[in-house]
Structure 1
């Protein structure tokens, strides 16, 4: 069982008081009203990309920071996978993506030294989504933004439990029309916006309109930004602002990272000063502010559970390498902390304490069971995640570990591998040759000090548990290439 710490921030004095809680904390109250639900997912937003997690952040995120100060911020929040589609699968289903062989971004088939594991490029139609669960309870359900969970009408949001779909289809980014600026030419975003309208604002406007139209009944509004995914494009006013700011920042922008693909040394960004990316972050934050303001204007803020997170860590090693995740190692596409540790904020009126923090590890798989429990819906199928409401009150979660499985070569250079986190320890296993590394994240958040030789018993025990989990989820592994056979677990 995880240990737990809850921290209350006194806004005026900035005094931080740490309070350790035992299992004696009360369970979630039954008299808390069934809430409306707003889920906000940002694409490619790193843990260190918001002010609430990083006081020295180059980017301005005042609306996200205020959301954090009014709810609970998780300092050990994770994505289920270091790239997008698998994590989105887990957010929707509460299940590890390996169970459906949805282990890479849909459409990704890159080979490296070996061929990648076989995979599906869709969320199977038999999967039960969070929208399916809530709709049966009478919730109005709405989706806006990036979907990337399958190509074909049967895989679209409106076929997976959502009453309304504004902008979700198979594409992994805003690649149609003028991309982040109208005309969008997105087949699921109608009517077309006036020329030049910014995509984050359009998605926020649609979400706000849905909230106002459905304020008299329970609703699920799922706002899934295309931001801050590539292409790197920002509003001119914000780009100008951050270019001026970046001009005064000195220091080395890139450092060395291990080489997994190709022959060119791979660099990782170690200094936040990318003006276009900063503009994208701030515009996304403004859009969130618009939606949160609508909750107040519609009179439903006090009965709306708000969840904010990202689908993977910040993009730091390719495609412009726009952000730094330091002190976390790596970024999107890596099973190091930079690729899987992401922002998590939950505001649940009547449950969470304003300005509270939790160091309890949580993951994308926990979204569906948490929302179902909040809506008082008993699940009729198995999920891998747990109800986070005890953690929101300071009670430890009864879960033995978290797991990751990424049997692919990422566009960002990350190695195929798996991982298990148990308490402060994280074991990483490489799929090309089976090497393992053990890190104590409490002492070594940058994953630079491999303890596997110093602690062979712990390493072996955690590796055995990881291998048992592989069997449980029917995990697939790298395949032969050019007559060479990769490592595979026993």
Structure 2
């Protein structure tokens, strides 16, 4: 048992433990079979660090309801996002493929606006579940194509969506409008837009009058979806934007578009620090609201709820040194702090409550996991391995290794295999390309680069970079 696992067990403390059980799929008529398939709710925070939750060790941020969810379920101590930045990480989750594949591998801007869209005929988690009879919805942030493009959520397996399609628009938690199924839904907020010469091309904004907070609207919409579909199997992708900052807001106000700084008003912190912590605690309360709704409707025992983050934290002020501890790095790094994220699962009943696992897993494992849950044949395209056995305490197949790409800052690649991480920097600049090697078992903070001491290990791992990377016209490492 490594240091992280020991600290994790201590952090769970003596929380109240309860258990729930999934109902098995029967061989009754089609309607009965559908209703007995497990519901799936995937809650994904935005830029929340590994150490921002109480159950993972957060010393100052209050998350009692997520901590209780952890006590009622299982937490993974070595779960990885798709990569260290938004769009490609989310693409990995939806497609079941790591970022070395030729789909959305980077945060590339696209026309008319938004990010590079998922291609047509992409097999997504939502598509597979919809084909099986699930009601599917996206509430929150998408980032994989706007309306009218091939990446429109309605073309990628979702029956409906409500929120932000464009990542830039999603910087503002109290925007002028949200998108619902291709249409703008205007809110009662007053915003200042960036001009077209700004890198956001006029799409960024910050609020000067806040009357409607997007997170509150998202939770209300989620409750409505759950209520309306309580008799059918459903997939709710609850992709919130907490605690992402608003880079277009004035300095010191980038975490301030939240109704209040409760319960941190009286803390001797900066406004940004108060806003950051308050956002996470606000989300924590919404997790409680959703879990309570499942219980009220009598479907909590047949609903898998997952909580995670899209990449490592990018927090302000003093929290910047806490959010990803004990790891090195933050969002946009391929060190552990940029890619290792919290992961909590509740709702399978066979899960031993209050447990944790060190099973090495990643976003691309979500597709085979839900396929196994829903009785869907796992597509050959996925790089993932179902982590359902690990959830249930059963023998678990392991990855040979994990692979990551990052296409900004000169290009980076990383491989994790058997507690070793090899990172390659400046991939797009061959004259500057270098590697760093770390033994995660004894150096979780990645402070001791072993490249010179262990050239044989470097030589062993180096071929995996070219093995797992597939060139595409859009995301290339070729100068």
Map of 1:214 onto structure 2:
229
SS at match of 1:446: coil
Alignment pair present for 1:44 and 2:47: yes
Query: After alignment, is 184-193 or 149-158 more displaced?
Result: 184-193
CA displacement, residues 202-227 of structure 1 (integer Å, 9 cap, x when unaligned): 10110111111111111111100022
**Residues of 2 paired with 1:121 and 1:13: CA distance?**
46
1:159 alignment partner in structure 2:
155
Contact 1:316–1:325 (Cα < 8 Å) also in 2: no
Q: Which residue of 2 aligns with 1:66?
A: 68
The Cα of 1:359 is off from its aligned counterpart by: 0.8
Q: 2:95 aligns with which of 93, 96, 100?
A: 93
Partner of 1:144: 139
Q: Secondary structure at the match of 1:436?
A: strand
Q: Paired residue for 1:228? A: 243
Would you say the 8 A contact 2:50–2:323 is kept in 1?
no
**SS in structure 1 at match of 2:348:** coil
Secondary structure of the structure 2 residue equivalent to 1:174: helix
Q: 1:49 to 1:8 in 2, by over 3 A?
A: closer
Mapped partners of 2:232, 2:145: distance in 1: 30
CA contact 1:325–1:338 (8 Å) conserved in 2: yes
CA contact (8 A) 1:439 1:450 kept: yes
Distance in 2 (alpha carbons) for counterparts of 1:471 and 1:186: 34
Partners of 1:150 and 1:445 in 2: CA distance: 36
Which residue number corresponds to residue 459 of structure 2? 460
Instruction: Work out the CA distance in 2 between the residues paired with 1:12 and 1:150.
Output: 42
User: Residue 342 of structure 1: SS of its match in structure 2?
Assistant: strand
Alignment match of 1:83 (pick from 74, 85, 107): 85
For the 8 Å contact 1:99–1:474, the answer to whether it is kept is: no
How far apart are the structure 1 equivalents of 2:268 and 2:455? 46
Relative to structure 1, is the Cα distance of residues 389 and 241 closer, same or farther in structure 2, using a 3 angstrom cutoff? closer
Distance in structure 1 (CA, Å) of the matches to 2:166 and 2:143: 4
Alpha-carbon separation, structure 2, partners of 1:131 and 1:240: 36
Query: What SS does the aligned partner of 2:284 have?
Result: helix
Q: What residue is the counterpart of 1:244 in the other structure?
A: 266
1:107 to 106, 109, 112: 109
TM (norm. structure 1) is 0.78
Q: Please, which moves more after superposition, 31-40 or 63-72? A: 31-40
Structure 1 equivalent of residue 57 of structure 2:
54
Relative distance call for 1:453 and 1:475 in structure 2 (3 A) is farther
Structure 1 CA distance for aligned equivalents of residues 12 and 324 of structure 2: 26
State the TM-score, normalized to the length of structure 2: 0.79
Q: Secondary structure at the match of 2:459?
A: helix
Q: How far apart, in 2, do the equivalents of 1:87 and 1:169 lie?
A: 15
Which residue pairs with 1:257 in the alignment?
A: none
**Cα pair distance change 1:288/1:236, threshold 3 Å:** same
Aligned pair 1:361/2:354, yes or no?
A: no
The equivalent residue for 2:116 is 121
Q: Aligned with 1:95: secondary structure?
A: coil
Question: 1:447 & 1:79 partners in 2: Cα distance?
Answer: 18
Question: Which ranges of structure 2 fall in alignment gaps of 5 or more residues?
Answer: 16-21, 27-35, 190-210, 247-253
What are the residue-to-residue correspondences of 1:162-201 with 2, within 5 Å?
A: 162-175=158-171, 179-181=172-174, 183-186=176-179, 192=186, 196-201=211-216
Shift of the 456–390 alpha-carbon distance from structure 1 to 2, 3 Å rule, reads same
* Cα distance in 1 between the residues matched to 2:129 and 2:316: 38
User: Alpha carbons of 1:185 and 1:139: their partners in 2 closer, same or farther (altered >3 Å)?
Assistant: closer
- Within 5 Å, which residues of 2 pair with 1:305-316? 305-316=304-315
Per the TM alignment, residue 347 of structure 1 is displaced from its structure 2 partner at its CA by 1.5
Contact 1:45 1:314 in 2 (8 A): yes
Structure-1 separation of matches of 2:449 and 2:309: 28
Q: Are 1:146 and 1:172, in contact at CA under 8 Å, matched by a contact in 2? A: no
Aligned residue for 2:261, secondary structure, equals: helix
> How far apart are residue 234 of structure 1 and its match?
4.0
Q: Sort the Cα spacing of 1:314 and 1:55 in 2 relative to 1 into closer, same or farther, 3 A.
A: closer
Distance 1:102 1:236 in 2: 31
Q: For 2:474 and 2:78, how far apart are their aligned partners in 1?
A: 25
Q: How many residue pairs get matched?
A: 421
Superposed CA RMSD in Å reads: 3.3
For residues 135-182 of structure 1, the C-alpha deviation after alignment (integer angstroms, 9 at most, x for no partner) is 11111111101001013424221221111211141334435xxx3236
